[in-house]
Amino acid sequence: MSEGKADTKGKWADLGPRVISAVVLVAVGAFEIQFGGHGFHVLVAVICGAMAWELLRMASPEQRNLAFWLALAVSFAVMATAYLPRGLSLPLLFLPVMAGIALLARRRTIWVFYAPVILLAGLSLMILRDTFGARWMLWLVLIVVASDVLGYFAGRLIGGPKFWPSISPKKTWSGTIAGWIGA
């Protein structure tokens, strides 16, 4: 096999798993967005917990148990916002943030800035779906997907200098700009 063909295959090696996971996420996500309610709230809470877990695993990889418990706290806090009055649920969102500040051994600043974004995004998604319905939620999802897909393909096809190698080693400037255009 020539070196060019091997290089091309390597460039697209992750496309198959990405497509499979996209099909599963579209099926589950579309169903939950369409029907809303408890299932959608659980989905959002689980996704927020997963995002918090990933953030903590990058920020403080040596604290695996703490990452699990804080991610679980994020999920519960997001879920609670769907069922408690806003006056009670909004302060509850900041309990996992405060716990992270108290318990993280290092890189607390990353947690302080990004954990509230994750929590408020979860709350916002639930409010958007519950207030405006499936159509607006699907529109938001389509914008995000368009941005992600354009960024992926432009980055792979055009290539170029890396955008932020220490955070996302494969992300290029061309993919980043295409993602912005897609949004």
Establish if 116 belongs to a structural domain: yes
How far, in Å, CA of 27 to CA of 92, rounded?
Answer: 31
Domain count of the fold of the chain = 1
Establish if 166 belongs to a structural domain: no
Establish if 45 belongs to a structural domain: yes
How far, in Å, CA of 87 to CA of 31, rounded?
Answer: 30
Domain that holds residue 67: 36-132
Establish if 15 belongs to a structural domain: no
Establish if 71 belongs to a structural domain: yes
Establish if 181 belongs to a structural domain: no
Tens of pLDDT along the chain (183 residues) come to 445 554 556 788 888 888 898 889 889 999 999 999 999 999 999 999 999 999 999 888 899 899 999 999 999 999 999 999 988 888 999 999 999 999 998 888 999 999 999 999 999 999 999 999 999 999 998 898 889 888 888 988 998 999 888 778 888 999 899 999 988
How far, in Å, CA of 40 to CA of 45, rounded?
Answer: 9
Establish if 65 belongs to a structural domain: yes
